[in-house]
């Protein structure tokens, strides 16, 4: 049987399974910690930093933090909220995000976070990078304009032999996610669908698949992201 | 090509964690790593092409296209530019008939920019086919290109005016000078290999750790973590296989101490690693050296061979049953971030140098997920001397919280640039006097990730508790334009060197450069300056030290040299929308007109 540990979340005493991921444990306790690069079931990689919380007073990403006994976690301070909003704004200014023409609009986690944090005009200079749309693949389209380099696809999608299909290329602000021409060659429709689903934005699209739900009736069109956990 | 790839891969037993070595060797053979070569390597190793590609495309010195028979990497650091780098670059371009980033039409030579190559005491300097050409002038650049045209070899181009000390060793033969201006009692005092190890093998591992702890040795890379504690964590970590890494990836612009230590005291560094291994219970060590110092490879390999022959490395060291330890050398391929210990480990595993999330720390799960100690070159030298001379001796030097000595790398506007090994606690003013600097406007202490300070702070002392430094000490004269000549160079450096994983670091390094350029061009506003300062808070939440300090060049100069910024702000109506950039808006037009 799993053993439970006591910890505090924003001053409130909580219980979690020992070693549980802080994001998941907080969710269990009704506290929403925003995430972007985190995805349940795949190894975390504190890349987007939006889940930064104070653990015993020290900023740490909640996705890479495991709950231990007596841990004191603060998830909401004006500084943390300001930081999270900044991360969302930076991502909008860094890539080319034209929401009204994006297939993912309404189901996009980045867009949903922008609504949640009431982003209007980004306070960061738009970089308008020159990026490609990669459509050579038989099953997938990779629109690099929309990619936020969260690495979910890199960490979560492997072919039948367990080999990588996606990987980072280059570094710094030139970083790009590449698709392997060999390992991705014969992927199933299910895996292509999972690659699209795992992407928080509209950077990975499955070819030959229409969109069932019209804009206006999609997941985040009515309910803010995270509202199922905490208002 | 096929044969070369297979032979080299086989040399590393087809082990994908040795990808760095494989790529370096293959590039040596083939000149560059084309997509076809990458695909072939992936095939031979049985890993996806994208996984090879991510390593190849991460490192600056891996080339995707032929670089010419002579690949000229001219340092573009702040200090290189102080000493006439622009004129040297222009001379190279005219003589070669091509621009930087290109290869001459005849395929003879390629010209490339590169970040600080660890020669700040003898700039401008270039790496040509891995050999160092320091103290360049436009005349020398022209002569070099003429020599290449005349069919000279790289050795013939170098000539025989080798530097002092071991720079003249037959296996080094470098034009590099040591410039050791001040020999201190730790690294550059008299030293005979083996005595410290003999003492250590008569002690228990706990006693060795206790000695290093009571001497309060702290990490010399800049962060200052207590060394004895690090060793103890690794010793206590469960597991039979443990590793000792020596971090010789000094990439902080203005730093060159590891170059000189590895040239003059490699035995001491290796002995320090063996002592650490004894204390921790490790049987393998890796010296991770930046690619820029690859000219030391044959020499360092020979030093290791001699130590093995003397039974100071290998099996049953000093006749002690169970004390087996050997060292291999791992070269990097051009990435500043690999100086961060977990990025260094990733790199040594053949991957892109992306810092890891912590916990777990390397002492728990490091190289190949085993407990790993990563120590700076100078830290290991300190450990050797603590064993030899005792904690009490060590503690007599330095300040309250900073015991012992520090090797400083002094460069920039002074008459005596070079290596100064001094006790912790010297004031900035003392160092300036030693280096014979005059008319000093500012000092960049600790490199770009440190702070830029003005004369009102020259009374401050070098110590972990005041001005911490990994060694870089760049003197900036009165006549320099700090924003253009220093801060902008550093801003570009961080943009280039970010690994690109954390959102704030990846994006804000570039955005800060954009805003800074606007200010330098006279189009910035007070709001821009405030914005740059505010971004520092965002950057603090990056994963690693690079990201956390990447805006330091900007924010420390805003704090200490605010008038330099204010003098450049746009004088227009403050209500005017400042984001309209006239030169950018008419750039296409200007280009069209210029091209007739």
Q: Which residue has the higher pLDDT, B596 or A38?
A: A38
CB–CB of A49 and B502 under 8 A? yes
Q: Which residues of chain A have a CB within 8 Å of the CB of B501? A: 45, 47, 149, 151, 175
B538 in reach of chain A (CB within 8 A): yes
For A127, the closest of B50, B510, B538 (CB atoms) is B510
How does residue B577 score in pLDDT terms, banded at 50, 70 and 90?
A: low
Of B495, B542, B543, the CB nearest to A173: B495
Which residue range forms the structural domain that includes residue A171?
133-206
B507 chain-A contacts, CB cut-off 8 A: 90-91, 93-94, 124, 127, 173
Contacts of A47 in chain B (CB under 8 A): 501-503
Section B433-437 average pLDDT: 98
Characterize B521-533 residue by residue with b for buried, 16 or more Cβ atoms within 10 angstroms of its Cβ, and e for exposed. eebbbeebbebbe
Q: Which residues of B touch A87 (CB under 8 A)?
A: 503-504, 538
Of B498, B504, B515, the CB nearest to A49: B504
> Angle, nearest 10°, between helix axes B526-539 and B552-560?
130
**Can the peptide bond before residue B360 be classed as cis, meaning omega within 30 degrees of 0?**
yes
Cβ(B226)–Cβ(B355) below 8 Å: no
> Are β-strands A52-55 and A12-17 bridged in parallel, bridged antiparallel, or unpaired?
unpaired
Q: Burial level of A38, CB count in 10 A (0-12/13-18/19+)? A: buried
A146 is a domain residue: yes
The per-residue pLDDT for range B218-274, each reduced to its tens digit, is 999 878 999 999 999 999 999 999 999 999 999 999 999 999 999 999 999 999 999
Q: Which residues of A touch B499 (CB under 8 A)?
A: 171-172, 175
- Say how many CB pairs under 8 Å bridge A and B: 134
pLDDT at B578 over 60: no
Last residue of a domain, one of A47, A76, A105: A76
Q: Could you tell me the CATH number of the domain that includes residue A54?
A: 3.10.20.740
User: What is the mean predicted confidence (pLDDT) over B309-334?
Assistant: 97
pLDDT at A208 over 90: no
Q: Is B531 on the interface with A (CB under 8 A)?
A: yes
Q: Indicate whether A70 belongs to any domain.
A: yes
Q: Which residues of B touch A174 (CB under 8 A)?
A: 500
| Cα A197 from Cα A202, distance rounded (Å) | 9
Is residue A119 assigned to a domain?
no
The nearest CA of chain A is from the CA of B354 a distance in Å of 9
Q: Length of chain A in residues, anyone?
A: 231
Mean pLDDT, residues B554-577 taken together: 85
Is the Cβ pair A167, B498 closer than 8 Å?
Answer: no
pLDDT at B520: 96
Question: How many CB atoms are located within 10 Å of the residue A140 CB?
Answer: 22
- B169-200 tens-digit pLDDT: 999 999 999 999 999 999 999 999 999 999 99
Q: Identify the CATH number of the domain in which residue A180 sits.
A: 3.30.70.20
Per-residue pLDDT, B128: 98
Question: B375-422, pLDDT tens digit by residue?
Answer: 999 999 999 999 999 999 999 999 999 999 999 999 999 999 999 999
Mean pLDDT across chain A, nearest whole number?
Answer: 95
A62 in a domain, yes or no?
yes
Specify the DSSP class assigned to residue B130: T
**What pLDDT is attached to residue B205?**
96
Write the burial class of residue B563 (CB in 10 Å: 0-12 exposed, 13-18 middle, 19+ buried): exposed
Q: Give this prediction's pTM.
A: 0.95
Q: Are A83 and B503 in contact (CB under 8 A)?
A: no
**pLDDT value at position B1?**
66
Assign B74 to helix, strand or coil.
strand
Using CB atoms, pick whichever of A59, A164, A170 lies closest to residue B50: A164
Q: What is the phi/psi pair of residue B357, to 5°? A: -75, 145
Q: Please, what are the domains in chain B?
A: 2-56 (no CATH), 70-161 (3.40.30.10), 182-395 (3.40.50.11540), 405-479 (3.10.20.600), 483-566 (1.20.1440.230)
Could you give the number of structural domains in chain A? 2
| Mean pLDDT value across residues B114-143 | 98
Mark yes or no for CB contact A87/B503 under 8 Å.
Answer: yes
The candidate with the shortest Cα–Cα distance to B407, out of B433, B426, B392, B387, is B426
Give domain status of residue A148, yes or no.
yes
Subunit contact A45:B357, Cβ cutoff 8 A: yes
Last residue of a domain, one of A54, A76, A98: A76
**pLDDT above 80: residue B582:** no
Q: Which residue from B minimizes the CA distance to A128?
A: B511
At residue B485 the predicted structure's pLDDT band, cuts being 50, 70 and 90, is very high
Task: Note whether residue A112 is domain-resident.
Answer: no
Q: Which of A50, A52, A178 sits opposite B53 (nearest CB)?
A: A178
Are B507 and A47 within 8 A, CB to CB?
A: no
SS (H, E, C) A15-77: EEECCCEHHHHHHHCCCCCCCCCCCCCCCCCCCCCCCEEEECCEEEEHHHCECCCCCEEECCC
Question: pLDDT (tens digit, 9 = 90+) per residue, B7-62?
Answer: 999 999 999 999 999 999 999 999 999 999 999 999 999 999 999 999 999 999 99
Is some CB atom of chain A closer than 8 A to the CB atom of B544? no
Query: Token pair for residue B315?
Result: 């099996």
pLDDT value at residue A209: 80
Is the pLDDT at B337 greater than 70? The verdict is: yes
Residue A48 has a pLDDT of 97
Asked if residue A153 is part of any domain, the answer here is: yes
Flag whether A47 is in a domain.
yes
How many angstroms separate the CA of residue A77 from the nearest CA in chain B?
Answer: 14
B123 near A CB under 8 A: no
In this predicted model, what pLDDT tens digit does every residue of B56-89 receive, in sequence order?
A: 999 999 999 999 999 999 999 999 999 999 999 9
Give the one of A52, A90, A183 whose C-beta lies nearest to B508's C-beta.
Answer: A90
């Amino acid at each position: 049987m799993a053993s439970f540990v006591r910890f505090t979340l924003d001053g409130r005493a909580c219980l979690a399974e020992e070693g549980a991921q802080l994001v998941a444990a907080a969710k269990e306790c009704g506290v929403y910690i925003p995430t972007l690069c985190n995805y349940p079931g795949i190894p975390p990689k504190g890349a987007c930093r939006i889940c930064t919380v104070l653990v015993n007073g020290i900023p740490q990403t909640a996705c890479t933090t495991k709950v231990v006994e007596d841990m004191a976690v603060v998830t909401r301070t004006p500084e943390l909220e300001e930081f999270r909003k900044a991360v969302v704004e930076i991502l909008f200014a860094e890539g080319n995000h034209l929401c009204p023409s994006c297939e993912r609009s309404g189901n996009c986690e980045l867009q949903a976070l922008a609504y949640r944090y009431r982003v209007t005009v980004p306070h960061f200079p738009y970089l308008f990078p020159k990026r490609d749309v990669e459509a050579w693949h038989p099953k997938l389209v990779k629109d690099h304009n929309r990619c936020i380099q969260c690495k979910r696809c890199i960490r979560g999608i492997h072919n039948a032999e367990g080999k990588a299909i996606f990987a980072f290329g280059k570094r710094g602000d030139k970083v790009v996610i590449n698709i392997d021409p060999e390992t991705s060659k014969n992927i199933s429709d299910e895996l292509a669908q999972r690659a699209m689903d795992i992407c928080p934005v509209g950077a990975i699209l499955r070819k030959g698949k229409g969109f069932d739900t019209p804009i206006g009736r999609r997941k985040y069109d009515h309910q803010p992201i995270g509202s199922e956990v905490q208002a | 090509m096929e044969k070369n790839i297979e032979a080299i891969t086989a040399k590393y037993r087809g082990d994908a964690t040795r990808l760095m070595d494989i790529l370096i060797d293959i590039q040596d053979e083939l000149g560059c790593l084309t997509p076809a070569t990458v695909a072939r390597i992936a095939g031979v190793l049985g890993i996806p092409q994208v996984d090879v590609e991510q390593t190849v495309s991460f490192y600056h010195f891996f080339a995707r296209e032929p670089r010419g028979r002579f690949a000229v990497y001219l340092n573009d650091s702040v200090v290189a530019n102080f000493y006439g780098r622009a004129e040297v670059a222009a001379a190279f371009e005219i003589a070669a008939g091509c621009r930087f980033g290109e290869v001459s039409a005849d395929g003879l030579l390629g010209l490339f920019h590169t970040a600080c190559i660890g020669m700040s005491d003898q700039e401008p300097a270039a790496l040509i086919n891995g050999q160092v050409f320091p103290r360049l002038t436009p005349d020398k650049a022209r002569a070099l290109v003429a020599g290449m045209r005349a069919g000279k070899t790289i050795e013939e181009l170098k000539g025989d005016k080798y530097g002092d000390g071991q720079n003249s060793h037959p296996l080094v033969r470098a034009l590099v000078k040591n410039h050791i201006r001040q020999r201190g009692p730790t690294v550059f005092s008299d030293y005979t290999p083996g005595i410290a190890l003999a003492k250590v093998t008569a002690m228990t591992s706990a006693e060795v750790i206790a000695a290093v702890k009571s001497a309060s040795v702290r990490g010399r890379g800049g962060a200052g973590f207590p060394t004895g504690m690090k060793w103890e964590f690794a010793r206590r970590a469960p597991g039979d296989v443990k590793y000792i890494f020596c971090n010789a990836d000094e990439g902080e612009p203005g730093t060159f101490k590891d170059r000189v230590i590895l040239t003059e005291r490699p035995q001491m560094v290796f002995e320090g690693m063996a002592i650490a291994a004894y204390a921790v219970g490790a049987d393998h060590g890796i010296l991770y050296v930046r690619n820029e110092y690859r000219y030391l490879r044959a020499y360092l390999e020979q030093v290791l061979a001699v130590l093995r022959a003397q039974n100071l490395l290998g099996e049953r060291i000093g006749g002690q049953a169970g004390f087996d330890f050997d060292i291999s050398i791992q070269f990097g391929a051009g990435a500043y971030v690999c100086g961060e210990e977990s990025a260094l480990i990733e790199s040594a595993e053949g991957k892109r140098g992306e810092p890891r999330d912590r916990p777990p720390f390397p002492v728990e799960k490091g190289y190949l997920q085993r407990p790993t100690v990563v120590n700076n070159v100078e830290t290991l030298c300190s450990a050797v001397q603590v064993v030899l001379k005792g904690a009490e001796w060590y503690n007599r030097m330095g300040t309250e919280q900073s015991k012992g000595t520090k090797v400083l790398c002094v460069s920039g506007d002074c008459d005596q640039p070079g290596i100064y090994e001094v006790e912790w606690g010297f004031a900035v003013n003392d160092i300036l006097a030693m280096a014979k600097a005059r008319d000093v406007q500012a000092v960049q202490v600790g490199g770009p990730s440190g702070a830029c300070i003005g004369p009102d702070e020259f009374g401050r002392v070098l110590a972990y508790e005041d001005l911490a430094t990994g060694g870089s000490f760049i003197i900036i004269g009165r006549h320099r334009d700090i924003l253009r000549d220093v801060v902008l160079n550093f801003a570009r450096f961080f943009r280039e060197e970010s690994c690109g994983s954390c959102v704030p670091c990846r994006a804000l390094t570039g955005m800060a450069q954009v805003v800074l350029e606007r200010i330098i061009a006279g189009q910035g506003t007070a709001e821009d300056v405030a914005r740059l300062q505010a971004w520092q808070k965002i950057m603090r939440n990056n994963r690693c030290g690079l990201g956390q300090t990447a805006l330091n060049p900007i924010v420390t100069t805003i704090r200490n040299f605010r008038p330099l910024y204010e003098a450049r702000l746009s004088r227009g109506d403050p209500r005017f929308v400042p984001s309209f950039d006239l030169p950018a808006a008419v750039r296409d037009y200007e280009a069209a007109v210029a091209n007739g």
